[in-house]
Amino acid sequence: MYILEGQADVTDGDGTQTSVGPGDAIFVGRGTVNRLSIQGNLKKIFAIAEG
């Protein structure tokens, strides 16, 4: 996921929280537990790849 506009917090399965904003890229592997908490509006590019 690539963040174009806005802010969000990403929390993974063990509770580690990371804040992301414009220009940040996030990789979430298959089977990964995570939560995305959006603050206001968020514009992003999101791709799913099988293989």
Q: Whole-model pTM?
A: 0.81
Q: What pLDDT is stored for residue 51 in this prediction? A: 72
Q: What pLDDT is stored for residue 49 in this prediction? A: 85
Domain-embedded: residue 31: yes
Domain-embedded: residue 50: no
Q: What pLDDT is stored for residue 16 in this prediction? A: 93
Q: Which residue has 């802010």 as its token pair?
A: 7
The C-alpha torsion from 36 through 46 and 26 to 13, rounded to 10°, is: 40
Looking at the structure of the chain, the number of domains it has is 1
Spatial distance between the Cα atoms of 21 and 23, rounded to a whole number of angstroms? 6
Count of other CB atoms within 10 angstroms of residue 36: 14
Domain encompassing residue 17? 2-45
At 30, list the tokens: 């298959």
Judge whether residue 50 has pLDDT over 90: no
